[in-house]
Amino acid sequence: MQQKSASSSSLVVIANPAAGAGKGNRKRIVTLAVRDLHRHGHKVHAYVENSPEAVSARATQAVLQGASAVVAAGGDGTVNAVVNGMMEAATSYEDTHRLRDGVALGILPLGTGNVFAYNMGIPGYWRDACRVICRNERRRIDLGRAILLSRSGTARRGKERYFLLMAGIGFDAKVMEDTSLRLKYVLREFAYVLKSLQNAVTYRGSRITLTVDGKAVYAGLAWLVMVGNAASYAWNIRFTARAQLDDGVLDICLMPYANKFMSVQQVMQLLMGQHIERGAAKYWQTSRVQVISEPPVPVQLDGDEWAVTPLELEVHPAALEVLAPAAGADLPNLEGS
């Protein structure tokens, strides 16, 4: 944990009103949060963007213009878009370490799940999240990067994206695809549980070839490959239960496919957290993994659909600073300070 002076800091808040639930309420919360941050001595510029691409472009601009922190006001999709924009700015510098040492990611959790905020210990209430930003304590975390491959196994130029939480391949991406925004609004995180159980009955596995650090470790039918940078998933499901955001590796959880009955049983083991020790799950930790499937299957990053296999995933250790509390830290009352 590192704490830097917060004096005369310049914050850029980027909100996506299409994320989460309650559009009018989100706008009001962003207005209140900006006012609160101003009141505690920060120079704040707030922007509302209506697409992930616009969010990323605004984050890139914020870094290039010297912001001390870029605050994502939204859910995990908004956070992902902001981070990808920040990392795009990093590749624009002659000294690529300038981003790592100069600008941090802040979070105002306004989505339906806010899984990344949960993993980082950032409170869900906007005023408490502002207190975290004002403390200016920084935690350095790893990032994952997904790179699409051609059929020949070479990287496809320009087809890559960073992720903070996880890359879900196969069944998981299908669940994300089938879980509508309305269902998430009504059932919140339980929407994923419902769709997981429904899809377990109908989803069939693909033939997966998994190569870890250059060595083939699995070739056979599988219905799910989860590559995690963090432990917790929606509804606190822990596919990659041993993952840590700052351990310099990615965790891989693969579920072999046998038949529909076994798939349902494995989903139940996942929900109960017994899929690794008592279940059929296969588990690895690595810095790089290649996933090839026949037929190709969908891929989601941090909860949003992205592409289809084949792809390669790698870890970028200590790539990003995040404004987040130390584990177990008490937040001070900033009223009147």
Question: What fold, for 166-301?
Answer: Tumour Suppressor Smad4 (2.60.200)
pLDDT tens, position by position, 164-188: 999 999 877 766 666 655 655 555 5
pLDDT tens, position by position, 103-151: 999 999 998 778 999 999 999 999 999 999 999 999 999 999 999 998 7
Q: How confident is the model at residue 330 (pLDDT cuts 50, 70, 90)?
A: low
Tokens for 152, please give them.
């020949």
Q: How far is C-alpha 121 from the geometric centre of its chain's CA atoms?
A: 14
Tokens for 298, please give them.
């969908």
Domain ranges of the chain: 2-142+319-323, 166-301
Cα–Cα dist 139/146, whole Å? 23
| The CATH homologous superfamily of the domain defined by 2-142+319-323 | Probable inorganic polyphosphate/atp-NAD kinase; domain 1 (3.40.50.10330)
Q: What's the pLDDT at 337? A: 36
Q: Residue 286, class by beta-carbon neighbours within 10 Å (0-12 exposed, 13-18 middle, 19+ buried)? A: buried
Cα–Cα dist 304/288, whole Å? 21
The pTM score is 0.86
